[in-house]
Every structure is written in C-alpha cells, then in structure tokens.
Amino acid sequence: MKLAEEISKRKTFAIISHPDAGKTTLTEKFLLFGGAIQTAGAVKNNKIKKSATSDFMEIEKQRGISVATSVMGFQYKDKLINLLDTPGHKDFAEDTYRTLTAVDSVILVIDCVKGVEAQTERLMEVCRMRDTPVIVFINKMDLEGRDGFELLDELEEKLNIKVRPMTWPIGIGATFKGVYNLGDSSLNLFESSKTKISKDVTKISSLNDPKLDELIGTQADQLREDVELVEGVYDQLDNETYLRGEIAPVFFGSAVNNFGIQEMLDQFIEIAPTPRARETNEGEIDPERNKFSGFVFKIHANLDPKHRDRIAFLRVCSGKFERNKFFHHVRLDKGLRFSNPTSFMAKDKSVIDNAYPGDVIGLYDTGNFKIGDTLTEGDNFTFKGIPSFSPEIFKEVINNDPMKSKQLEKGIHQLTEEGVAQLFTARMGNKKYIGTVGELQFEVIQYRLKHEYGASCSFSPLNFYKACWFTSENKEQLEEFTRLKSNYIVYDKDQNLVFLAQTAGILQITKQNYPNVEFHFTSEFKTQAV
C-alpha cells in the first residue's frame, strides 16, 4: 500500500477527562465497536486502582498496567485508530500533558452532573496551545445532571472554545428518553444496555412529524423548543473550523449504557484529522515525506530492578519506520536500529516490521533516549512542540545518606531526564528542587532511587505555585529582575533560568512590576505569555 493510503487510514487521538467522568468506560466501548475486545470489562479489569494508599508494589503494578494500556490500536470500518491513554488519577503526571503532543485530536468526556472540572481545564489548556481539534462527549445522561444549555455555556466559557451540539438530549436522568440527531433528524431512543453495539434509530421526517409525539409524548414540545434555540444560537459545524481547534462538536450520551457512542464514533472517523504536518526547527515536515521521522514523547522504565529495560514511545511523523533499519538519532548524532519495535494492539504488545505516520511504537532502550528526541532517516532537524510544562508540586530533595551523594546525584539526573519529574537547581549552593504535576511521582522517584541507584532521599515540601520560564527584549529590566528576584530564580535541566512564583497573586504583581518581562508556563515559548 502506498504511504499516502496508509496515512489516510490513520486517526491518532486521546480521550481526556477529569477522573470518574467515564474515560475508561468510553475507551472500552470504542474497543468493543472496533472488535479489539469481545467482552465488556476487559479494560476495566485492568483499570488503574484509585486507591489513596502509597504502596510501592502498587506503583509497580500501576506502571505495568499503564504500559499495557498506553496505546490501544483498533480498526473501525476502514480506519486504523490509535487511542493514546492519558493517565488521570493518582498517576496524573507531565506524561499526561506530553501524550497530548503526540495525538492529532482529542475526545473530551464531561460528566453531565459535574460539568467542566479542574483537570479538564488543565488538559484542555494544552490542547488549546496546539490548536488540537476537540470533540466533546457529555456523559452520564441517565443521571440527574445539569441542563444542556448550561453545560454548553460552561464549556465555551471555561475552555475557551466554541461548541456545536450534534445531538440533543430528550430529558435527563429519570426522564432521559434518548437523543435527537440534529444532522439527519433521527431519534435514538434510550434503552439501557451495557453490551449492545448496534443502534436502532428511528427516522422522523421533521420535528413536526406526529410520530415524535407518539414516541416521546409530552417531551416532544420541549425538544422542538430546544432545537429551535440550538439552531438559533449555535453555528453549524464547519470542518475547517473544527480542524483549526476553534469549534467543538458536542454529543450527549451514556457511556456505561453504550448510548450515543456510535453516533460520535461515526462522526469521529469522518471528521477527525489524519496525521498532519509537524513543526521542526527547519520548518514543517509533511507526513507524506518519503523519509522516516518521529519523536519520543514518553519513556517508560521498568521498576523491576531485574529488568532494567526502558521503553521509549515514539510517534511516527513521516515516511515509513522499518525494523532493523539504521535511523539517525539527531541529538546524539548516532545511528540506531531496532530489532524488536512493538506496536500495541489492545492489550497485546507485538513486534512490528513497519510503522506509518500516526502510529506509536515502543522502542526498547538502554538509555539513548530523552523525552523530545527526534529520530530520522538521516536528516538533522528536530521536532518542536514537546515542551516541559510547569510543575505544580515542588519539593526540595534531602539526602538521607551522605555516603551515597554521587548515586543520588546520578539517579536524580537520570530520572528527571527520563521525564519522571523536573529538576531545578539553585544558582548558589547545591540545593535541588523536584517539580511534578502529581504526587505519585515523588513516591516513584524515592522508590527508584533506592532500588536502582542505592540512594536514599526524602522530600521537604516547598510553597510554589508555578515555574515560569521568562524572556525579555529589554536587557536592563531582565537583569534587574534576575538580580532582585534571585532567591526565586533557579536553573532548569538545560540551564535555562526559571522563576518560581509562590502564588498566583505574586506572579500577577511581578508581571505588573516588570511589564517588559514575559512569563511562560512551558519551556517552549511559541505560545503566548501567561
């Protein structure tokens, strides 16, 4: 098959949500539709436990599970779909953000009772930075949730995106009767079923069709009124605007009841982007370019000290990846070949011979890769847009065993290079700060330092709100800022200066005091300053 054909078949996306909104359930239904699993419960059984206990075996188990479910490939109709997992519970980490740099679009799941929640906003900020196209699924319509219009308003306000409902709910909770498809005037009447994968839709000629009153009784008038309002308020979906990430189609349904999902999946394969051109330091690289290229967005280490292997997750961006062929590791200026590259179809890992743009492959690594590394077929460009994101939890590293200082130093450097967390160092002295976006990472670091490097450390909490990379064209002001705020300015792993703001208020005041200094929440500044 020609490269262009392979590309046109692929859709690579992630499902994002606040914990408990229904991401796992929806994933499972997708896999059922795709025939990748046969029974409901297969993903669920693997589900990362939401326990609050910090048990190291648990960490190990979770890491094991998350490698198995990191990428799930399945076929739906004539499309090959790669679904990338975004860890969301206790294991929420920078990895979660970075996974979003490797997808071409996302499906956002919202709980209709809770609306837009904190984690949703954080994840969507990353999507908005990259203008990633978004489809929204409003879930749990079988529960007594909030009014549809109110939810849409909240989506637009909090997520800074326009929305367009594609289906409209008839009632909610106890009165939920199903959804009306605004595109083809069909009704999908609700019937709770956890395994059903076909849908029975009823066509009506128009909203004035008396059949509607027969089917949903007194709720028909409300539906007519709602639809009139929808058509009056929301613009039609325009594919280009969706692809630019400016408008998000919205579907209503119930994942656990397998309701309203097929409509969304059908629309998804219709409109979601196939692999697109990606930016490098030498301009855009088209997926159809004949020469292979890709980047590493995640590194997974085995916590079992007996198996020190690591897996680097590489997103193929152009050309064709081939097993056992020498490729060019740009940062190290070194040729590497891979005898056991793996793909991830549902739960099984299997060795592959070829991979195409949009695919994510696992490369066994003995320490050659860092997050963001580019692999090419001889070219020297590097992919952009795989930044470090500002951590939200900061702690100082305390060495518990001065005899093992070297081991600690080495371990911390290697683990942070892997992307487990970010390391900041004081400009004077030798203080080291670790920053993460999730608590679990501190336990992972402690555990791995001990088991892999024989070093023991503890962490002392620090009160910082965000790490801000900063820039300025005004040299004088930059110097003054760096001098006067020196107690709060540290180095990141690449020796860039970073300002650690204690609170949002302090950051605000600092910005006012230094109007010519720009502050950024990521290490790549192509996005606007905060």
Chain positions contacting ligand G4P, by CB under 6 A: 17, 19-25, 44, 139-140, 142-143, 254-257
CB of 359 to ligand G4P, least distance (A): 24
Residue 4's H or E segment, with its range, is: helix 3-9
The DSSP string of 241-266 is HHHTTSEEEEEE-BTTTTBSHHHHHH
Nearer to ligand G4P, 85 or 377 (CB): 85
**3 state SS of 102:** coil
Please, which residue, 147 or 304, has the CB nearer to ligand G4P?
147
Q: Of 90, 61, 63, which Cα lies nearest the Cα of 310? A: 63
Smallest distance, ligand G4P to C-beta of residue 113, A: 9
Minimum distance from residue 254 beta carbon to ligand G4P (Å)? 3
Check: CB of residue 23 under 8 Å from CB of residue 88.
yes
Contact predicate 298/98, CB 8 Å: yes
SS3 helix, strand, coil % of the chain, rounded to 5? 30, 30, 40
Contacts of 27 (CB under 8 A, 6+ apart): 15, 43, 72, 83, 85
The smaller minimum CB distance to ligand G4P, of residues 24 and 390, is found at 24
Residues 6 or more apart whose Cβ sits within 8 Å of residue 206: 185
Distances (CA, A) of 10 to 57, 240, 448, 526: 37, 19, 37, 28
Cβ proximity to ligand G4P: between 112 and 501 the closer is 112
As measured in angstroms, the least distance from the Cβ of 33 to ligand G4P is 16
Structure tokens at 480: 């003054």
For the bound state, the minimum distance from the C-beta of residue 279 to ligand G4P, rounded and expressed in Å, comes to 31
Beta sheet of 167-170, edge-to-edge order: 167-170, 178-181, 186-189, 201-203
Give the containing element (helix H, strand E) for 120: helix 118-129
- Tell me the closest approach of the beta carbon of residue 474 to ligand G4P, in angstroms: 45
Closest separation in Å from C-beta 88 to ligand G4P: 6
Closer of 93 and 256 to ligand G4P (Cβ): 256
Q: At closest approach, how far in Å is the CB of 141 from ligand G4P? A: 7
Q: Which is nearer to ligand G4P, 34 or 341 (CB)?
A: 34
CA–CA gap between residue 227 and residue 252 (Å, rounded):
14
**Lookup: tokens for 259:** 């309701």
Please say which residue, 26 or 467, places its beta carbon nearer to ligand G4P: 26
Residue 288 · residue 7 · CB < 8 Å: yes
Of 178 and 357, the one with the shorter C-beta distance to ligand G4P is 178
**What's the closest the beta carbon of residue 235 comes to ligand G4P, in angstroms?**
28
For the bound state, the minimum distance from the C-beta of residue 89 to ligand G4P, rounded and expressed in Å, comes to 7
Q: How far apart are CA 377 and CA 363, in angstroms?
A: 16
Cα dist from 234 to 153, 158, 191, 226, 368, whole Å: 11, 17, 28, 12, 50
Q: What residues have CB less than 8 Å from 332, skipping those under 6 apart?
A: 368
Closer residue to ligand G4P (CB): 139 or 399: 139
Cβ closer to ligand G4P: 71 or 316?
71
